[in-house]
Structure 1
Amino acid sequence: MVRGWAVVGGAIFIIGQQTLDGGPDDRGVVGLLTSPFWWTVPTGLLLIGLVGFGFALLAWRMTTYAVGEETVHLRRGVVFKQQRHARLDRLQAVDVRQPLVARLFGLSELKLEVAGGSDSGIAIGYLRDADANELRNELLARAAGLKSTVVAPALPGPDAVADAQAPQERHLAAPEAPAQPVLEVPMGRLIASLLRTSVTIFFVLFIAALVATVVVTGTPQIVFAVIAPFIGIGGYLFNRFSTEFAFRIAISADGIRLRHGLLETRAQTIPPGRVQAVAITQSLLWRSRDWWRVEVNVAGYGSDGGSGTTNVLLPVGTRDEALTVLSLVLPDLGSDNPRAVLDAGLTGDSRTAGPFTGSPRNAVWVDPVGWRRQGYAVTGRALLLRSGRLRRALAVVPHERTQSLGIAAGPVQRRLGVASFEVHSTPGPVSPAVHHLAAADAAELLEEQSARARTARAHAGPERWMEDPR
């Protein structure tokens, strides 16, 4: 039922679009609905619905999954068979999704994100809500290195022969790890933050210009010509509000837990040590309120994660809240005064004292606006890169999560003796880089950061974070 409605909804959308394209005249679908052949539209929808629900039924019948001590297996496919395997020691995150229709039936989809290439995750759906949560707890426990408790039921009677039939083994479900709430984003702040975005301002100006054009020209048909961008901008704003609605953060033994969503609710669990990079950003319109946004790179999520918010740890929050969320990812920054280091990265520049090494003065020729904000700092646990004058940004990369490093310098940069330093992370919204450093500083940072990354990886804990490394 959940998957079949997607086909019917798509058909209704196409018919609705054709109706709008018909405009105020009796053309297209509008003309068809007023003709003697009006019955063809509901009949077509009925046939499409039968095909959609029939194919969804076959897909459901052909989908099976199994969970082992080391691996999760998924088999599905009607026309093309597909078998997928996910190693639990490579588990990066576990999400429980509840689309609107699935929520009406009490169903959820469990999605496992693993370290790998694009589309490397496994989606098991749809399950009953209780079964999905129980399976999530079991997978997180196994990924952490906890062994399942196995109980062999007693034989049916005292005279039963032991080898007549081997008893079935029963795995006890892993209990859900208790979670400690950290913070919740108020709805009023979320709405205010969306109003203070360049997209909203452009949307308001777009509507004002459209209304003025219709009034001056007296041709309301113009609305049909610009309906696509109108829906696109409005849809983007509504999607941001819907997916970031009721955003809650909690911490537990199995990782960082996020829950959010209006139409589609999503419960995410990011196990310890799975975050590859963190970015704390602030737009110009948020500066008067000192609001910040926190995004992360997680292997397997990619740049968008499928919903647009799986990479978001905090959609909007105060500075203290943003730093609190950062501490969930990196509890120990490896500095005697971490708050001073982070404040310098968030709002400081080359004119303020601090631990950051910035760009030389001649960088003004290639970056006249933001050259003073460019800089880097190194602590015992992470590399911090700051940038942006109008849109402030601070990227934090734990040393052990460094994938690779690079230096880039164009012809103008080489002439000025500057270069850009880049930290290559997994795909995601965070692109750690600091531009227009002195060439000698960039080369020294490249060599030293390579050594720090090797040392940190050698002393990193096991992938199964609750497993005894001995």
Structure 2
Amino acid sequence: MSVSGDVVAEPRRRLHPLTPLLQGAKSIVVAIAALSWSTLSRVGLGWFAVLVAVLVVGATVLAVVSWYNTGYHIVGRELRIHEGLLWRRTRAIPLERLQAVEVVRPLLAQLTGLAELRLEVVGGGQTEAPLSFLTVAEAAALRDRLLTLAGRGQSPVPDAAVPGDGAPLPAAPPAERLLRLVANREVLVSQLLTPQAFFLPIGVTVVLTEFLTSGSWSFIAVASTLTATAGIMLQPIRRVLSDWNFRLSMQESGLRVHRGLLETRAQTVPLDRVQAVAVTWPLLWRAKGWLRMRLEVAGFSAESDDNNRPDRLLPVGTLTDARFVTFEVLPGVDLLTVPLTGVPRRARWLHPFAQPVLGAGLGERVFAARRGALTRELVIVPYARIQSVRVVRGPLQRALGLATVHVDTAGGAGAAAQGRDLAEAWMLAAALTERAQAARRGPG
């Protein structure tokens, strides 16, 4: 290690030597997709294979050179990542901004005993600093060490025990307390009770009918039909695979979420980074008394693919499960006792179906807002996580004397109290601002 003043810089480490091989395997899929079936029909199978081989070899060479120039190390309370071919780049990530750490293992990484470390940071529009690939032990040890240096976690990992220094890893991982284990059968049935699953037979029938009536049994026609069918079936299948073997547990460093079949994910979210908790009751699930829960954490990109978003809290469960999980994530908060007041009857002109459902209220520690007609949602925001409060009035709201109170958080969506009486909206906004300031100041 090198020391500069009070800042300790560890030796730079490279990613696992198998990283170029796994990146090259990805390049094969990308190359074939880029060339497309139309290219195959124009140039023939032989030239198509040559083009794929050239692209794969080129991508593999680039992956090897990129691996050689990529490295990471910890300097003080920063994680620094060095990368780049022609243009070298160094990213310094202050660990104070760290929101969550996720260990991801795609299928090829599972077969080779490797993993990818992904970091979520404050203000990040996408996942920051994905380290692909490390050994599973190294990824887990680095995750725990980053959380410790960020001021969360258990006892610090000694420098001599950091993977790559030739010293043994910590003897055992921190103990976990299981909160909820979701049955795979419930995950599967819940996805069958979705609009995508209901319309799936119709979509497949349309594609197959078009193929059979076209009269063409060429390779291109068959491949295009299979591709279209797979695209229709992909969404519900991906959600099932993503939430397979879902396990939620509590650790001293925060919430620990394990899930996935072909791609496994182990995510750690410190509790002090939770901005909001949302509980959703889809229409088709209400007959079985099911709901789902998600976290809102600063740093998670709201535009990311829904199947890959690292904000799952409970993919499917009952109200009893939701109450228990909420109490663990937001101590002292009970879903059944959160105070909610309705909206004036004139709000039905703007929300004809949702007006009986709309509600908002101030609890002892949190603000809650409920909305939705077919799919109902309850969002709970701790006062200490409120960044700003807005009162918004559109033309129709002004005519009806109504307003919407928006509560913004660092996590993105926040919560919105819709259809409130104008005078009540201003009082609610003032109370929220006062309680948010008091919560941030802390007791005393």
Same fold at TM > 0.5: yes
Letter in 2 for 1:341: T
1:170-185 to structure 2, matched below 5 A, reads 176-185=173-182
Q: What is residue 377 of structure 2 aligned with on the other side?
A: 393
Distance 1:280 1:129, change over 3 A: same
Taking a change above 3 Å as real, the CA distance of residues 43 and 220 of structure 1, as seen in their structure-2 partners, is closer
Instruction: Give CA-to-partner distance per residue, 1:193-248, whole Å, 9 cap, x none.
Output: 11100111122222234456667x57568988877764433222222122111111
Q: Does 1:437 align with 2:437?
A: no
CA contact (8 A) 2:208 2:225 kept: no
Q: Which of 432, 438, 441 in structure 2 is aligned with 1:455? A: 438
Per the alignment, residue 126 of structure 1 pairs with 133
* 2:315 aligned with 1:315: yes
- Taking the aligned partners of 2:409 and 2:216, their CA distance within structure 1 comes to 50
Distance 1:2 1:107 in 2: 10
Q: How many residues align?
A: 415
Deviations 1:161-206 (A, max 9, x none): xxxxxxx998985963211111221111111111100111122222
Alignment match, 2:251? 252
Q: For residue 189 of structure 1, what is the aligned residue in structure 2?
A: 186
Conserved in 2, the CA contact under 8 Å of 1:302 and 1:426?
no
Pick closer, same or farther for the CA change 1:43–1:317 going to 2, 3 Å.
same
Offset, 1:62: 0.6
CA contact (8 A) 1:137 1:175 kept: no
Query: Normalized against structure 2, the TM-score is what?
Result: 0.86
Match of 1:373, SS state, is: coil
Equivalence for 1:49: 56
Give the match for residue 353 of structure 2. 369
Matched residue, 2:31: 11
In structure 2, C-alpha distance between the alignment counterparts of 1:211 and 1:51, rounded to whole Å:
38
Q: CA deviation at 1:359?
A: 0.8
2-structure distance, mates of 1:439, 1:6: 55
Give the direction of change, closer, same or farther, for the CA distance of 1:232–1:403 in structure 2 (3 Å limit): farther
Determine if the alignment matches structure 1 residue 360 to structure 2 residue 367: no
Structure 1 pair 431–232 and aligned structure 2 pair: CA distance change class (3 A) = farther
Structure of greater Rg: 1
Instruction: Give the match for residue 161 of structure 1.
Output: none
SS at match of 2:356: helix
2:89 to 65, 82, 92: 82
* 1:287 match: secondary structure: helix
Task: Give the one of 52, 60, 71 matched to 1:64.
Answer: 71
- The secondary structure found in structure 2 opposite 1:454 is helix
Identify which range, 43-52 or 57-66, moves more after superposition: 43-52
CA deviation profile, 1:354-405 (whole Å, cap 9, x unmatched): x322110111111111111111121111101011121111000010011211
**2:16: which partner in 1?**
none
The CA distance in 1 between the partners of 2:143 and 2:194, in whole Å, is 36
Distance 2:160 2:83 in 1: 30
Quote the RMSD (CA, aligned, Å): 2.8
1:326 paired to 2:350: no
Is residue 112–residue 123 contact of structure 1 (8 Å, CA) maintained in 2?
yes
The partner residue of 1:426 within 386, 410, 416 is 410
AA matched with 1:177: P
Change (3 A) 1:398 1:440: same
Go from structure 1 to structure 2 and tell me whether the alpha carbon gap of 1:9 and 1:214 turns closer, same or farther (over 3 Å shift). closer
- Retained in 2: the 8 A contact 1:114–1:300? yes
- State the secondary structure of the residue aligned to 2:351: coil
Residues 387/455 of structure 1: CA separation in 2 closer, same or farther (3 Å cut): same
User: What is the Cα deviation at residue 144 of structure 1?
Assistant: 2.5
In structure 1, C-alpha distance between the alignment counterparts of 2:34 and 2:94, rounded to whole Å: 41
Q: 1:94 maps to which residue?
A: 101
Q: Of residues 322, 332, 336 in structure 2, which corresponds to 1:340?
A: 336
Aligned residue in 1 for 2:121: 114
Counterpart CA distance in 1 for 2:225 and 2:127 is 38
TM-score (structure 1 length as normaliser): 0.81
Deviations 1:406-444 (A, max 9, x none): 11111111111111111122355x541121111111110
Residue in structure 1 matched with residue 42 of structure 2 by the alignment: 28
Q: Could you report, residue by residue, the CA deviation over 1:260-287 in whole angstroms, capped at 9, with x for unpaired residues?
A: 1111111100012111111100111001
Residue 73 (structure 1) aligned with residue 73 (structure 2): no
